[in-house]
C-alpha cells in the first residue's frame, strides 16, 4: 500500500511538471492550426484541453489518441472520440470511420515512439489531400542544453523538458524537417517556442523561422528549443 501511494504521488508530481505542455490550450500550436479545419486527429491528446480549445474556436470534430488511462478518461469529456491506445496500435488498426482528416496534430509525442518515421508515414495515409500537419518536437540542439552535455560529460535524463527521461528519439531542426519530408509532407512554417518565467510564448517577427519551398529566413536558436512545424500534404493529382 505504501509503495502504491508513493508511486501515485510520483506520477502526480510528474504530471504537474508537464501540465503546461500537456494540459494547456497551447497557443503556440493553436496559431498554426487552420481555422478552416473541420475533422482533426490529435496524437497524444492528453486530457483533451487543446482539442477542447479548438472546438470552442471553430466547428470541428476532434478525434484523440491517448495511451494514458487517466488522460483518456478526461479527454472523453471534451473531445468527440478518444482511442485509448498507443499511436502505433492505433495506426496498425482498421482505417478510422471518421477518416480522412484535414488536420493532424502531433505535439510532443513523436520523441516517445520507437519508430516515429514509420508512424508518420502511416499517419499521412489517414489525411485528405492538402491537409495540415502541426508538429511540435523538443530541439535537442538547443544551445544551453548542449553546453550542459559538454560540461557534465553526461546525457541528461530529466523528469520533463527537452531531456525528458522518457524520450526514445532525439531531433534537431533538420532531423524534424527530414522526418516530415520522408513522410511525403512539404514543410511550410517553422516557429520556435520559448519559455519565459515558466510561460511558453509564441514568438513572431525576427525570431520566427519561416520556411518556404525555396528559402529559409530569420534563422535563430530558440531559447527553450521546441520547434513547431506547420506542414501541408501535397494534393493528389
For residue range 178-236, list pLDDT tens digits in order. Answer: 998 999 888 888 887 654 433 343 333 222 232 222 222 222 223 334 455 566 665 54
Specify the pLDDT at position 196.
44
Closest CA to 180 of 101, 127, 236, 237: 127
Q: What is the mean pLDDT of residues 18-38?
A: 79
Joined together, the cell numbers standing for residue 111 give 520523441
The pLDDT of residue 177 is above 80: yes
Task: Give the range of the structural domain holding residue 157, as residue numbers without chain letter.
Answer: 2-232
Closest CA to 64 of 81, 88, 85: 81
- Which position has the higher pLDDT, 130 or 204? 130
237 in a domain, yes or no?
no
- Which position has the higher pLDDT, 64 or 11? 64
Specify the pLDDT at position 234.
54
Q: How many domains would you assign to the chain?
A: 1
- Which position has the higher pLDDT, 125 or 18? 125
Specify the pLDDT at position 137.
85
Do residues 52 and 77 lie in contact, with contact meaning Cβ atoms separated by under 8 Å?
A: no
Specify the pLDDT at position 26.
85
124 in a domain, yes or no?
yes
CATH of the domain at 226: 3.40.50.150
69 in a domain, yes or no?
yes
The neighbour count for residue 190, using CB atoms within 10 Å, is 23
For residue range 41-76, list pLDDT tens digits in order. Answer: 999 999 999 999 999 999 999 999 999 999 999 999
The pLDDT of residue 145 is above 60: yes
Do residues 132 and 33 lie in contact, with contact meaning Cβ atoms separated by under 8 Å?
A: yes
- What band does 39 get if pLDDT is binned at 50, 70 and 90? very high
Amino acid at each position: 500500500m505504501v509503495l502504491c501511494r508513493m508511486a501515485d504521488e510520483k506520477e502526480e508530481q510528474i504530471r504537474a511538471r508537464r501540465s503546461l505542455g500537456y494540459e494547456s490550450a497551447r497557443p503556440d500550436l493553436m496559431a498554426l492550426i487552420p481555422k478552416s479545419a473541420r475533422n482533426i486527429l490529435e496524437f497524444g491528446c492528453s486530457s483533451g484541453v487543446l482539442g477542447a480549445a479548438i472546438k470552442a474556436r471553430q466547428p470541428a470534430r476532434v478525434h484523440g489518441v491517448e495511451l494514458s488511462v487517466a488522460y483518456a478518461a478526461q479527454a472523453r469529456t471534451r473531445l468527440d472520440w478518444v482511442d485509448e491506445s498507443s499511436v502505433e496500435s492505433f495506426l496498425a488498426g482498421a482505417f478510422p470511420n471518421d477518416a480522412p482528416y484535414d488536420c493532424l496534430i502531433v505535439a510532443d509525442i513523436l520523441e516517445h515512439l520507437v519508430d516515429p518515421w514509420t508512424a508518420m508515414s502511416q499517419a499521412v495515409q489517414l489525411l485528405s489531400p492538402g491537409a495540415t500537419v502541426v508538429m511540435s518536437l523538443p530541439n535537442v540542439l538547443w544551445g544551453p542544453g548542449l553546453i550542459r552535455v559538454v560540461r557534465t560529460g553526461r546525457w541528461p535524463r530529466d523528469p520533463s523538458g527537452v531531456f525528458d527521461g522518457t524520450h526514445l528519439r532525439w531531433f534537431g531542426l533538420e532531423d524534424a524537417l527530414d522526418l516530415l519530408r520522408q513522410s511525403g509532407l512539404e514543410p511550410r512554417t517553422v516557429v520556435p517556442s520559448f519559455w519565459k518565467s515558466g510561460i511558453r510564448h509564441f514568438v513572431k517577427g525576427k525570431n520566427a523561422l519561416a520556411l518556404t519551398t525555396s528559402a529559409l529566413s530569420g534563422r535563430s536558436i530558440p531559447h527553450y528549443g521546441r520547434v513547431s512545424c506547420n506542414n501541408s500534404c501535397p494534393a493528389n493529382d
